[in-house]
Amino acid sequence: MNSNKYLLHELSWVDIKALDKQSTVFLLPVGSTEQHGPQNPLGTDFLIAQYVARIAAKNSEIVYCLPTLPIGVASHHRNFAGTLWLKPHTFETMVKEVIHSVHYHGFDKLIVVNGHGGNTASIMQAISEYNDVHDMLCVLFEWWSDEELIKSIFGVPGAVHADAVETSTVWAACPDLVIPERFEGLTSAEKWGREIGGLFLSSRTDQFTETGIAGSLDGISKDKGQQALDAAAKKLVYVAEELSRYKK
């Protein structure tokens, strides 16, 4: 376990300069500030990503966590109050600028820890460009991507939106922010989005779900959420330490 400070904003410039440039891995948590049903906080996506990243950094001697980017690509949720969003290009530029800052200081290994599916395309564009042009080792990590793990814990093949998987996970990460009194009577869309002729139709969220929820709400459990968080953090440590040992 990292017995020292592991959050970049709590360290001084002298501390950062002293880190080993070849082995240090930085984590960049990113997410979104958007609706997650009546029961969950608007910050669900970035709060989960931040939790996983910070636990991973705490449990590794070579991993350090950058400040979180809390706003992402979320205009499809705009008709739900409180949702904030960036254009995809703006978000991509923000990610690239943070990577550039890290690279400027002599470090070449970074993992973007993403908590929002709407960010994925922009992140992949940003890290692909930086890896190619600047000889960086950047990768994307998404806590929900291991469908077998999610199925083993929750009995469903993956998270959708503000469903039992996501509600359980943010409940474990931030127990004071979830409102269990609102669980009863919640309705949700069976799946994400709309289809025409078997093809996915890009839609605003309010066009297919009144509550902002999509996916099953059966079996919401703080304990299951903690299992998912612990497994994600453990896997992230493994990925980071493998990346740390990689020699270009």
Whether 187 shows a pLDDT value over 80: the answer reads yes
* Whether residue 194 has pLDDT greater than 80: no
pLDDT given at position 192: 79
CB 70 within 8 A of CB 43: yes
Is the residue at 227 inside a domain?
A: yes
Number of domains the chain is built from: 1
* pLDDT value of residue 117: 96
| Nearest alpha carbon to residue 232 among 147, 122, 167, 157 | 147
* DSSP β-bridge partners for residue 214: 161, 189
What's the pLDDT band for 226 if we cut at 50, 70, 90?
very high
Residue pair 7/57 in contact (Cβ under 8 Å)? The answer is yes
| Per-residue pLDDT at 159 exceeds 60 | yes
- Bridge-based pairing state of the strands 63-65 and 194-196: unpaired
CATH number of residue 92's parent domain: 3.40.50.10310
Output the pLDDT for position 29: 99
Residues 118-130, mean pLDDT to the nearest whole number: 96
Nearest to 222 by CA among 161, 179, 192: 179
Q: Which residues contact 143 (CB under 8 A, 6 or more apart)?
A: 48, 49, 52, 113, 115, 169, 228, 229, 232
Residue 3 is assigned to a structural domain of this protein: no
Paired tokens of 95: 């990610």
Please report whether residue 82 resides in a domain.
yes
Of all residues in the chain, what percent carry a pLDDT higher than 90?
A: 87
Per the structure, the complete domain to which residue 50 belongs is given by 8-245
DSSP 218-244: TT--HHHHHHHHHHHHHHHHHHHHHHH
β-strands 109-114, 137-142: how paired? parallel
Mean pLDDT computed over every residue of the chain: 94
In a domain, 1, yes or no: no
Position 105 confidence tier, pLDDT thresholds 50, 70, 90: very high
Backbone angles phi, psi at 92, to 5 degrees: -60, -45
Q: What is the CA radius of gyration of the chain?
A: 18
Task: Answer yes or no: is 196 within a domain.
Answer: yes
The predicted pLDDT at position 3 comes to: 55
- The string of pLDDT tens digits covering residues 12-69 is 999 999 999 999 999 999 999 999 999 999 999 999 999 999 999 999 999 999 999 9
